[in-house]
Chain A
Amino acid sequence: MDKNWVKVLVAALFEVLWVIGLKHADGFWEWIGTIIAIYISFYLMIMASKQLPVGTVYAVFVGLGTVGTVFADFAFFGVPLQLAKVVLIVILLAGVIGLKLVTEDNVKEGVES
């Protein structure tokens, strides 16, 4: 897998952490951790978009962050996972995979030009 896509994945993971932080952080160190997570996620997302289209990276970043947050709510905070959510997550992940497939071609074209 291309390293720019790995950066987007890790950026989304840190996005989940800071979204949880914004909701649940309590006390000085938890807020510091949340701020560090915001910094890391944005840094990686911006670095990934150096070579990939920004619109693509941002959509995947927001999308995977949302899936991660829904999953974290389900796994750690006891929020139910209804069928509608599962269907939407499948559509979203299909979109991410599709975007990855069409973007690889674009990157190659970009290198040639």
Chain B
Amino acid sequence: MAWVALVVAGIFEMLGVTMINKLHKDRNLQALILLIISFAASFGFLAYAMGSLPMGVSYAIWTGIGASGGAIIGMILYGESKDWKRIVFITMILGAVIGLKLVS
């Protein structure tokens, strides 16, 4: 169950990042509320998963799904740059974050 909760937490983070895009595009209360709910649900599921999984692994997988998923959705749905250099630099950052969380 903890692993399922962890994946769900990552998906909610991805949704939260996507809602930031939606908020800037639509500028309405609905996007803001969805943003808050997404991040709150994400933290809730993450906290639940960390109850039984190691913190470093949990955080690494959570960031891996959420931040990279959010970036990919931004490129597909919101026209963010697909420049290969941008993708390489984002991968370097998120890869290093995952590594740091696993080492810690």
Residue positions of A touching B, CB distance < 8 A: 42, 45-46, 49-50, 53-56, 58-60, 62-63, 66-67, 70, 73, 79, 82, 84-85, 88-89, 91-92, 94-96, 98-99, 102-103, 106
Contact = CB atoms under 8 A, between A and B. Distances in A.
B70 A55 contact: yes
Interface in B45-93: 63, 67, 70-72, 74-75, 78, 80-81, 83, 85-86, 88-93
Q: Is the interface of B mostly helix, strand, loop or mixed?
A: helix
Contact of B71 (A55, A70, A95, A98): A55
15 contacts: A45-B20, A46-B20, A54-B21, A54-B24, A55-B70, A63-B93, A66-B101, A73-B104, A85-B103, A88-B96, A92-B97, A95-B91, A98-B85, A99-B89, A102-B85
Nearest to A64: B93
A49 B92 contact: no
Interface of B: 17, 20-21, 23-24, 35, 39, 63, 67, 70-72, 74-75, 78, 80-81, 83, 85-86, 88-97, 99-101, 103-104
Contacts of A42: 39
A63 B93 CA distance: 6
A66 B93 CA distance: 10
